[in-house]
Amino acid sequence: MPSHGNPQPLVQDILQQLEIDPDDICKVTKRFLQQIKEGLDHPRPWQLPSYVFHVPDGSEKGTFLAVDLGGTNCRICLVDLLGNSTYNVTQTKQTVPEHLRINPRYQPLFSFIAKALREFLDQHELRHQIDCPTGSKRIPLGFTFSFTCEQTSISKGTLIQWDKGWDIPEALGKDPCAMLQESIDEMDLPVLVSALANDSVGTLLSRAYTSQDQGSTLAGVIIGTGTNAAYLERSCNVRRLPNTETKPMHDTIVLNTEWGCFDDDLKVLPITPYDRELDASSINPGQQQLEKRVSGMYLGELMRLVILHCHERGVFNMVLDVDSPCNCQYGIDSSFLSLIARDRTTESWDATKDIERVLSARGVTPDDARILTQLADSIARRSARLAGSALGAIIIQSERLSGPVSEKCAVEVTSLPNDQNDKQRPKQPKRICGLLSRIGDYFKRFIYSLTKKRSVENESLDQGSEQNFIDIGVDGSLIELYPGFEAHMRGALRDIQEIGPEGEKRVRMGLARDGSGVGAALMANAAT
C-alpha cells in the first residue's frame, strides 16, 4: 500500500512511546532496588541463593563436563581449568527442537541431552580418560540450567517456572539435576551431575576466573534469548536464608536475581500497545515483564507488531508478500534489528535490500528503511536502557561505589546489633578474621598483579586501578551483537542519580566468553 498523508506523526508517536527519559530511569531503578531488597528479606521467585559463597580467583584446576541448556541451544562442553585464569574448552552445540521445549513430559528433553552427552563422550573418547578430582570413577558435570529454580544446595534445586517460551509442566517442582541424572544413568554413562548452575551465575564465575583484577567482579549479566543477572551479595543481608548455617561461615553469597520478572505488577515499567499485545498472546501472560521488553526472544516480535501497525496505516511504501514473516507470530528474529542498525553504521547506508530479503517485501524505499531503522533503534535502545537500569540497581545495592564487597561485609557483619546470630558468632574474632583476610586479599592481589598476563579480548576500553573498577561479565547474542547496546546501558547508568557519570566510568563490562560452560565447570569444582 503506498504511503498516504504524512507518516511522521504516527512514527514520532511510536518513537516517543518507546523513549525512557532520565526521570523514568530513576523511577525504574528505584523500583528494582525495592524488589531486590524485598527478595533479600522474603522468599520470592527472585534473589535466589545459589549456594556459591566465593567467586573464583583464577587458581581453580581440574577437568569437568558442562551441559549448558540455554533458551535456544544445548551445549556440551569439556572444560579444562588450568589454574592460571585460563582454560581450554571443547564443545558441541545443538538446537533444542520445539517439540522438546513444549512437551507435557520431561523425559524426552533429558534423554535428548543425555544422548548428546553420550555422543560427545564417544566422539572425544572420554569414557575412561579423565582423572576425576575426587578419585571417583564418574566425571563431575556442572549443569547450567537457565530457568528459575529455588536451590537448596549447590547440587539440588526445584524448578519454579519455565520462561523464554518453554513449557514442560511435568518438570515443575522437580530437581533438574535429578532429571538429568536419571537419563544419564539410563544410558549408563560415567557422569555425575554435581552442580546446578544458573547461566548468569556461571557468567559471573567465569568472568571472575579470567579477570586480572581479583575481587573486582560484581555481577554476571545475560542478554540473549532471555535476560538475567547474578551478583555477589553480603550474606548478612540475605535474611531469607536460615541464619544458623551459612551466614556465620561465609561473608558473601552469589544471588541469582531472576530480574526478568522484575516489576511484573507493572508499577513503573513503560507499556505500549505493542507490549500489551505481545504479553497477551505470549505463553505466560502477565509474567516476565522486564524480559519481554529486554531480551532477544521478544525484540523481534515487538518490531513485528510495530511494523504491522505502521503498515496497516500506510506508513510504508513497501509491499509485504503474503508469506512475509511479518504475518507470523515470532516471525522476525531480533538479529534483524542488529542487521539494519549495522547497515546504518556503514558509509554507503542502504538497508533496503536486507529489508526486502528478511521481510519478504517488495519496493522498499530509502524512506521505509530510515523509518524501520529508527523504530528498531528505539526498541533496542529501550531494551538496553532498562537493562542498564536493572544493573544500576544491583550496583547501588552492592555499595561498591564506596568500596569492595568483602570490606563492606566485614564491617556490616560485626556491626549488626540485632542479628539473631549474635549469640553464636563471636564478634571480635570475626572482625580480626575480616582484617586478616583483607590483608591476605591485598597481598594476593599484589602478587597476582605482578604475575598475571593481561587479556585484552574481554575488556572494555576504559582501564584504571583495580580498586576503582566494578567489573561486570556479560554474555548473550543481543548484548554482544547489537551495535551500541553497551553504550545505551551506560547512558542509563549515567542517568541514575546515585551512579552518575563518575560512577558509570568505574563500571567495566566485558564478555565472559564460554561463560555458561566455564561457569558450570567452576561450580562443579566448588561442589567437589
The grid coordinates of residue 221 equal 549479566
Q: How far apart are CA 49 and CA 52, in angstroms?
A: 8
Q: Least distance to ligand ADP from the beta carbon of 335, Å?
A: 4
Q: How far is CA 249 from the centre of its chain?
A: 28
Helical residues (DSSP H) of 284-323, grouped into ranges: 289-294, 296-312
The grid coordinates of residue 461 equal 576500553
For ligand ADP, the closer of residues 71 and 434 by Cβ is: 71
Q: Least distance to ligand ADP from the beta carbon of 4, Å?
A: 33
Residue owning grid cell 531503578 = 29
For ligand ADP, the closer of residues 18 and 315 by Cβ is: 18
Residues that bind ligand ADP (CB under 6 A): 70-73, 224-225, 296-297, 300, 333-335, 337-338, 476-478, 481-482
- Bridge-partner residues for 157, per DSSP? 151
For ligand ADP, the closer of residues 34 and 72 by Cβ is: 72
Find out whether 527 and 140 touch, Cβ atoms under 8 Å.
Answer: yes
Q: Least distance to ligand ADP from the beta carbon of 153, Å?
A: 25
For ligand ADP, the closer of residues 133 and 331 by Cβ is: 331
Q: Least distance to ligand ADP from the beta carbon of 318, Å?
A: 22
Cα(first)–Cα(last) distance of the chain, in Å?
Answer: 64
For ligand ADP, the closer of residues 98 and 265 by Cβ is: 98
Q: How far apart are CA 142 and CA 209, in angstroms?
A: 16
Q: Least distance to ligand ADP from the beta carbon of 476, Å?
A: 4
**The Cα angle at residue 474 between residues 338 and 482, in degrees rounded to 5:** 5
How is residue 125 annotated by DSSP? Answer: T
For ligand ADP, the closer of residues 264 and 514 by Cβ is: 514
Q: Least distance to ligand ADP from the beta carbon of 69, Å?
A: 9
Using DSSP's 3-state secondary structure scheme, residue 296 falls into: helix
Q: Least distance to ligand ADP from the beta carbon of 507, Å?
A: 21
Using DSSP's 3-state secondary structure scheme, residue 460 falls into: coil
For ligand ADP, the closer of residues 24 and 333 by Cβ is: 333
Q: Least distance to ligand ADP from the beta carbon of 364, Å?
A: 20
Residue nearest to ligand ADP (CB): 224
Going 263 to 265 to 268 to 273, the CA torsion angle's sign is positive
Q: Could you write out the DSSP letters of every residue in 203-224?
A: HHHHHHHH-SSTT-EEEEEEES
Find out whether 436 and 260 touch, Cβ atoms under 8 Å.
Answer: no
For ligand ADP, the closer of residues 215 and 476 by Cβ is: 476
Residue owning grid cell 554413562 = 189
For ligand ADP, the closer of residues 203 and 272 by Cβ is: 203
Q: How far apart are CA 457 and CA 511, in angstroms?
A: 8
Q: How far apart are CA 302 and CA 338, in angstroms?
A: 14
Q: How far apart are CA 59 and CA 81, in angstroms?
A: 9
Sequence-separated (6 or more) residues with CB below 8 Å from residue 89: 77, 78, 79, 80, 514, 517, 518
Q: Least distance to ligand ADP from the beta carbon of 88, Å?
A: 21
Q: How far apart are CA 378 and CA 262, in angstroms?
A: 21
For ligand ADP, the closer of residues 333 and 471 by Cβ is: 333
Q: Least distance to ligand ADP from the beta carbon of 118, Å?
A: 22
For ligand ADP, the closer of residues 34 and 335 by Cβ is: 335
Q: How far apart are CA 226 and CA 249, in angstroms?
A: 34
Q: Could you write out the DSSP letters of every residue in 229-278?
A: EEEEEEGGG-TTS-HHHHHHH-SEEEEE--GGGTTTT-SSS---HHHHHH
* Closest residue by Cα to residue 270 from 23, 11, 7, 8: 23
Q: Least distance to ligand ADP from the beta carbon of 7, Å?
A: 26
Q: Least distance to ligand ADP from the beta carbon of 337, Å?
A: 6
For ligand ADP, the closer of residues 166 and 448 by Cβ is: 166
